[in-house]
């Protein structure tokens, strides 16, 4: 969640594997453009480390840049549901 609405752009937002490979995604803006929901366009790999980075160049709707970049690190698990 951002503290103010952000510009609708994915420029400055990246999703990568720990090895540096890009993860293609779509972006959906909600809550008056203050929440950004990223959805991978392909299944993520099990037991894999990923990093999502929002660069400091991302701007609010009022064209103010973020105070600093933000990085989220996540690791996937195993999907044991019957297919």
Residues whose CB falls within 8 Å of the CB of residue 41, separated by 6 or more in sequence, listed in order = 24, 25, 26
**Percentage above 70 pLDDT, the chain:** 95
Cα distances (angstroms) measured from residue 42 to each of 2, 48, 63, 75? 26, 14, 32, 16
Q: What is the pLDDT of residues 26-64, one digit of tens each?
A: 999 999 888 999 999 999 998 999 999 999 888 888 888
Its pTM stands at 0.80
């Amino acid at each position: 969640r951002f503290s103010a609405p952000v510009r609708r752009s994915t420029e400055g937002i990246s999703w990568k594997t720990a090895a540096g490979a890009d993860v293609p995604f779509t972006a959906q803006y909600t809550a008056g453009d203050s929440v950004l929901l990223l959805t991978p366009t392909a299944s993520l790999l099990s037991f894999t480390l990923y990093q999502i980075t929002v660069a400091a160049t991302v701007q609010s709707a009022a064209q103010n840049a973020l105070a600093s970049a933000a990085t989220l690190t996540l690791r996937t698990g195993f999907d044991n549901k019957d297919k």
